[in-house]
Amino acid sequence: MELMQAKGTRDFLPEKQIEKQKLIEKIKKVFELYGYSPMETPVFERFDVLSSKYAGGKEILKETFSFEDQGKRKLGLKYDLTVPMARVIAMNPALRMPFKRYQIERVFRDGPITTARYREFYQCDADVVGSKSMQADSEIIKIAERVFKELGLEIEIRVNNRKLLNGLMQEIGIEEEKTESVLLAIDKLDKTEKKEVEKELKEKGIEERKVKKIFELIEVKGKNQEVLEKLGKKVVSEEGKKGIEELKEILKYAKSYGIDNLYITPNLVRGLSYYTGPIFEVLLRKGKVKSSVGGGGRYDKMIGLIAGKEKEFPATGISFGLDRILDELSEKEKTGRKTVSQIFVVPINCSEKAIELVEEIRSLGIKTEMDLMNRSISKNLDFSSKQKTPFVIVLGEKELKAKEFSLKNMDSGKETKVKFSELEKMKELIK
């Protein structure tokens, strides 16, 4: 037997897991500030839920881990958090709208593995179900801004609108059956040369005149209001106009929310086909390189279709990729701490007395570890320094007699005397 993780999965040892938990706490805090409540769905679902034709689509289904239970029921590991949420909403008609929930959970895809792609990875989703208002979309965008502000990462948020894109396609005369593949080609503009995209469009049978027209529209540049004005003059279809209206509303609310880094980006498409209105993407700015760390949009039809009910479930939401954010943060602020312990206590032949004192320290809410190996002082100091425990206390006969010990800061080397009777003051010292 080879002792290995399953391919495409990782262990999170304490050092990394401590970082991840901090990150998750920060994201949760922002979600909850905006009144989004936590929800959790099982790791696996009935396969027929995951394979609903309104769910994730064929490509994603190819990457779905599937298996049977003892009753021969076909099951699958969830590949996203949206489809299970749709199921929950369909099953719980008493849920009151708007339903604002977040989920920070692992999802699973049995796909090819690259440096940044795993078969088990985290998604952080926040969605509003039940509201048609552009205020909901703006709130979601604000949440994205605030999350990254809390994390100290510089981002920009790009916004576009599917109604606008569909309208433009109609006006240019792209046949409906070709629209999606044209949009997918346009979506590559960020990563691919313009020439390559032009070539792809021509290969798809789009006439040169139309290709030119496409670029004329999606390459409109300027400040947000200018972009909308320019497009407004060119767009004639009902759907296109509605798309521009929605974007205008988002800009209006963005002002109230105080969103600064929002950019209307006519060539933003986003892959998934279920979007019906505003779409957004969050890009990390790192020098000249910009990498996507989240995205989302409005999907007014999907839940109702999965639910198979007459009722409509307008919805909008965002999903962040935790793993990429975690990598980014580890690079920036690696502490190297391998333990949550704030203090390590080294007793010299006095473990029973030491336990009593350590229990008092713990009662103050200070995370404290003490030797469990009966090691020598030097071995204990070596252990705690390798674990990077921030503070150390050595406790021997002398200290027990004087009812006083030294609290040593292992980063600065500074020692502070602390009397047994004034343990409280350590709360300040260890900050």
Cβ atoms of 132 and 299 within 8 Å: the answer is no
**Shortest approach of a copy of itself to residue 108 CB, angstroms?**
7
Nearer to a copy of itself, 187 or 249 (CB): 249
Pairing of strands 343-347, 391-395: parallel
Cβ atoms of 259 and 145 within 8 Å: the answer is yes
Subset of residues 101 to 120 that bind a copy of itself, contact rule: CB under 8 A: 101, 106, 108, 110, 119-120
Cβ atoms of 266 and 217 within 8 Å: the answer is yes
Asked if 135 touches a copy of itself (CB under 8 A), the answer is yes
CA dist 217 → 89, 171, 207 (Å): 38, 11, 16
Interacting stretch for a copy of itself, rule CB under 8 A, among 172-180, 181-189, 319-327, 357-365? Answer: 357-365
Alpha-carbon distance 44 to 68, whole Å?
A: 11
Nearer to a copy of itself, 46 or 210 (CB): 46
Nearer to a copy of itself, 91 or 289 (CB): 91
Asked if 377 touches a copy of itself (CB under 8 A), the answer is no
Alpha-carbon distance 273 to 84, whole Å?
A: 18
Cβ atoms of 201 and 182 within 8 Å: the answer is yes
CA dist 347 → 9, 76, 352, 387 (Å): 40, 52, 9, 18
Alpha-carbon distance 242 to 156, whole Å?
A: 25
**Shortest approach of a copy of itself to residue 338 CB, angstroms?**
7
Interacting stretch for a copy of itself, rule CB under 8 A, among 90-98, 235-243, 260-268, 275-283? Answer: 90-98
Nearest to 298 by CA among 144, 157, 155, 129: 129
Q: CA dihedral defined by 50, 140, 325, 7, rounded to 10 degrees?
A: 0
Subset of residues 161 to 220 that bind a copy of itself, contact rule: CB under 8 A: none
**Shortest approach of a copy of itself to residue 415 CB, angstroms?**
21
**Shortest approach of a copy of itself to residue 167 CB, angstroms?**
25
Answer for which of 93, 115, 191, 373 binds a copy of itself (CB under 8 A) is 373
Compute how many other C-beta atoms are within 10 angstroms of the C-beta atom of residue 238: 11
**Shortest approach of a copy of itself to residue 215 CB, angstroms?**
36
Residues in contact with a copy of itself, total (CB under 8 A)? Answer: 103
Interacting stretch for a copy of itself, rule CB under 8 A, among 2-10, 161-169, 200-208, 281-289? Answer: 2-10
Subset of residues 310 to 349 that bind a copy of itself, contact rule: CB under 8 A: 338-341, 344
Q: The tokens 């795993």 sit on which residue? A: 118
Answer for which of 130, 156, 178, 305 binds a copy of itself (CB under 8 A) is 130
Subset of residues 273 to 312 that bind a copy of itself, contact rule: CB under 8 A: 306-308
DSSP assignment, residue 117?
Answer: B
Interacting stretch for a copy of itself, rule CB under 8 A, among 192-200, 229-237, 366-374, 409-417? Answer: 366-374
Cβ atoms of 266 and 214 within 8 Å: the answer is no
Q: Which secondary-structure segment (H or E) carries 370?
A: strand 368-370
Cβ atoms of 254 and 138 within 8 Å: the answer is yes
**Shortest approach of a copy of itself to residue 414 CB, angstroms?**
22
**Shortest approach of a copy of itself to residue 165 CB, angstroms?**
25
Q: Is 115 exposed, middle or buried (0-12, 13-18, 19+ CB in 10 A)?
A: exposed
Interacting stretch for a copy of itself, rule CB under 8 A, among 154-162, 229-237, 262-270, 352-360? Answer: 352-360
Q: Which secondary-structure segment (H or E) carries 155?
A: strand 155-161
**Shortest approach of a copy of itself to residue 162 CB, angstroms?**
20
Subset of residues 12 to 71 that bind a copy of itself, contact rule: CB under 8 A: 12-14, 17-18, 20-21, 32-46, 48-49, 52, 65-67, 69-71
Asked if 367 touches a copy of itself (CB under 8 A), the answer is yes
